[in-house]
Amino acid sequence: DYAAKFGVTIPEDMLAQEALLRRSALVMNGMKWKGRRAHEEQALAWPREGVQVDGAYKRSNYIPREIFYGQLALAAEIHKDDLSPPETRQGAVIRKRVEGAVEVEYAQINNTSGRLLPAAPNRPSQTQFADYLDRRGLFAVRA
């Protein structure tokens, strides 16, 4: 069981788990993957053909374990964001005063885009997907 092995929380209800997997599949469809879909009529991003990782081409008739585990991780991340939306999160405690009533002040989360992002950019799903994405997040632009 993925949740138990990796210490993540997912709903107990199988229908809710299936819904999370469907939502993660939709997110994955929006990612830019290496290669192309194995069949032109397939609805989902995987399986794919023409995917080269570490100098070897992956078979087009299966889904690599990194993609499988990445989808499970992404589903757990979506569930976590559902329970604690990024826009409701607060920064670290920077001052705490205890005298009778408790007073807590949180650090401001600097946000230049005007939109708070989910917990961390290097989420477990992104680590699993890294070798299969068209770019690993770093690229150079020549002027």
Q: What angle do CA 112, 117, 123 make, to 5 degrees?
A: 135
Q: Is the pLDDT of residue 6 over 90?
A: no
- The confidence score (pLDDT) of residue 140 equals 62
pLDDT for res 138? 58
How confident is the model over 60-110, as pLDDT tens digits?
999 999 999 999 999 999 998 888 877 777 777 777 767 777 777 877 766
Amino acid in position 30? G
pLDDT at 141 over 70: no
Query: 53 or 136: which carries more pLDDT confidence?
Result: 53
pTM: 0.71
CB atoms within 10 A of CB 79: 21
State the CB neighbour count (10 A cutoff) for residue 122: 10
Are 122 and 137 spatial neighbours (Cβ–Cβ below 8 Å)? no
Q: Residue ranges per domain, the chain?
A: 2-132
Find residue 44's DSSP bridge partners.
none
**Amino acid (one-letter) located at 50:** G
Q: Which residues, including other chains, have CB under 8 Å from residue 17's CB and lie 6 or more apart?
A: 10, 11, 75
Rounded to an integer, what distance in angstroms lies between the CA atom of residue 75 and that of residue 82? 11
The pLDDT score that the predictor gives to residue 1 is 81
CA triple 124-55-33, angle to 5 deg: 45
Q: Output 59 or 2, whichever has higher pLDDT.
A: 59
The alpha carbons of the chain give a radius of gyration, in whole angstroms, of 20
Query: In the predicted model, is pLDDT for residue 113 greater than 90?
Result: no
pLDDT in tens, 16-70: 999 999 999 999 999 999 999 999 999 999 999 999 999 999 999 999 999 999 9
With a cut of 60, say whether residue 121 has pLDDT above it. Answer: no
